[in-house]
Structure 1
């Protein structure tokens, strides 16, 4: 009887010890996630306009916490394709919600042309997409109590074009980005750099490294060493990838870290294929990227 009691106590002690090792916002502490689809961060839009401003909300199930951090996830697709239902976006939104974050996977304005083949169109498309990202941030700050989030702990995150949105939204002013993109008659009200808590850049890039001087927003860059779609280092066009952003952040003393997947290309595929999102091995690398980003954000924002 005594031995049995000791055994039960030992098992309970081990399970409590294991549970205690799971750190909120760093490790998985929630098993289930609640997902609410097709909400709007621009509720005043007409139904036609609203299609580009929808979001899916991921929350830890039965989480009663208030003041939770929010990650706004933005999909890739060259500002022409992709959606908030993309496999990677759903994976990161769910796994970060399991860590205790609230995650909003957003839609945004896509180009009617082909930005992938026209750099001027790419600049313009990014500008309008960034305005959407800033609108989403403003919406969540205004509705922070409704979603039980901390308006001072909003993180911008995205892969490829979504990473470009996160970088350019966080560090550039509307005036700077509009001038670079050749957009005239800029009527956006936000003339100052956006106030966010951090950036997760998954194989995206920024148009001007000097924009990092505007704010000290912590950033984590993750990319494949062989990425030929968004090169980690500057090539011909004025687009600076994760390696360049990392080096500039180091020079400016901005809290930062990076993870390089040696031998891999865009989207952490061995050989990038925009039609095929990648199999289990690619998704495993996405999970590794997510854990690295979670470790950095925990160390930077919560520790």
Structure 2
């Protein structure tokens, strides 16, 4: 077989001992191809280092220049900010973005991601909701670039763009501990979510360094909405031994916590993860873990378009740093 700088489908067909048409059908995910042939073609693709020419495939299929973006919850301003940043980069590249939201449902994540791949998007940016993205590995092998945003993938190979979740939470709680607080209410979404589990590890580290540990009675989880966070904190404030401070693991929990404190007339300090658009209007000072949300989306989009353009370097991880900021009114 003649050597080429970049293996072609003809090379793959020759190496696998199958027809060019069979290679094409395997690459395009045709379900009726015999499993033995799929295994032969896949093995040859990996052996030769073949990468599908996504741009050419789109031109042949008549597909428009699009990328897919699957987020966890478009109702959360964090994800709408990410989507706006990704879209801005895509427009500059002459692409359109097809957006979808999983609402933290792993089954919806799988269905939406695979549907976008079947639509022959040129690339995919995915915020994982489940703990297994192995279903995408075949698509990645066939040449569809995938960048994982905000949370890393499990079972699939691709670039990841993340936040320093653990370090940010640790710094925020360390400040509360330094102020003398020991009974700190902890308001979290589901701990099955990567960002939540990482932020809880940061909380644990800050408390452990001070010789303390998490009181499970002060940890409220699965708070997916501000309303749930408000109810959780109201219950904690009404307990015989209420918390003296609050750490909120995301922006929605912070909103709910502030509502609960205002209603109760409480003066305890609040620290939270994620800034949000209305934070400067809060009625009192709130210490927030902040980062450049648009930069996060831009980094993911730029990485994706580098892959679409032919970058074949090993996948990497980009970690966005965090810092603490004050929002709201004066210190109480």
Where relative contact order (Cα < 8 A, 6+ residues apart) is larger, the structure is 2
TM-score by length of 2: 0.33
Greater helix content: 2
